[in-house]
Amino acid sequence: MTEDFRFNLLKTDGKARLGKITMPRGTVRTPAFMPVGTAGTVKAMYMDQVRGVGADIILGNTYHLMLRPSAERIARLGGLHEFARWPHPILTDSGGFQVMSLAKLRKLNENGVTFRSHIDGRAYEMTPERSIEIQTLLGSDIQMQLDECVALPAERKEIERAMELSLRWAERSYRQFGAQPGKAMFGIVQGGDQPDLRIRSATELAAMDLPGYSVGGLAVGEPQEVMLAMLDVTLPAMPAHKPRYLMGVGTPDDILKSVALGIDMFDCVMPTRAGRHGLAYTRRGKVNLRNARHADDPRPLDEESNCPAARDYSRAYLHHLIKSGESLGAMLLTWNNLSYYQQLMQGIRAAIGDGAFESFFAETQDAWTRGDLPLIGETP
């Protein structure tokens, strides 16, 4: 395996991109979906299962891990890879989004943000330098700059202020990151729903020649069409030879449409959170296992899936587990959902490689539109 962090763009099909990121801990095939391991665990999954469904990389959460058990403790115990038994690549976010959304009594200024923990009320300060220090202690392979994420809708003046602050914090974050062979720090494009601010942010970050770039501040309350419009204007201003990561996105439909615009990496809690609430993602769209229509259905979620949760358990049993509040129900649906997300990414990569992404896009959308299996005895 390479000693350096490298991104190779292997093929394009329209704007969709097939590539790979190589680093000492492994290769990430792109477009990639990263399961979210917020507190050092992908909820309701063993790490062997996460790897088994096809994940090359997972995401860890700086904010949650700094509060509990602390970055210093994880470092003493050998780093996050050893701590969580995941020897493959890990990307950590900066903690900025959680500070903005979860922390109590936060105060933001040029230096950083002070806040009180949502767990015990203890006071903390997060600066660009401290965020990178925490991520380095965790041992993550891809680290994110600290940024300020503004929820939409918002006033243009507020969006511009946060975007400019995030640019200054990117420079400070990268200075703190320094030389870490085999690892990378990504800058984060901000600018809300303002095209000119997005382009300006992307252009100024590109001038810093960072190892990779993220699009942040989307999937924060805006409609999908706004998100896609911002990607359409932002991506041409981002370096084509560097990986592009869309943070916090999203549904399978969001992912498919964003790949079509040129995004390489995704993360989202949606497949795990949905699984814990009785919702399954399949090639036929979403299936709500709480619905009584499944109570007597002996069929699996998807007889053609290579995931045992989708292939080997009846809908009736899954319905029973969810209605009974059994933890196995959440585990099985999470397994199914992460498996489907990885199958979707595998299909996307194969289609781009074959020059058939447009056909794959249409066929996938059509299958979702047709929807789930009809009831037993019901005419399709």
Q: Which residues are marked as active site?
A: 93, 267
* Sign (positive or negative) of CA dihedral 131, 133, 138, 141: positive
Q: Is the peptide bond before 271 cis (omega within 30 degrees of 0)?
A: no
Please state, in angstroms and as integers, the Cα–Cα distance from residue 363 to each residue in 117, 332, 366, 368, following that order: 46, 27, 5, 9
Phi and psi at residue 34, in whole multiples of 5°?
-105, 110
d(CA 173, CA 213): 13
Token match 């296992």: residue?
A: 289
Token match 């946060």: residue?
A: 162
Torsion of CA 96, 102, 108, 110, to 10 degrees: -10
Please state, in angstroms and as integers, the Cα–Cα distance from residue 338 to each residue in 136, 140, 216, following that order: 28, 22, 23
* Sign (positive or negative) of CA dihedral 327, 344, 245, 250: negative
Q: Is 135 helix (H, G, I), strand (E, B) or coil?
A: helix
Q: Which residues contact 121 (CB under 8 A, 6 or more apart)?
A: 104
Please state, in angstroms and as integers, the Cα–Cα distance from residue 261 to each residue in 68, 229, 230, 258, 280, following that order: 38, 10, 10, 5, 26
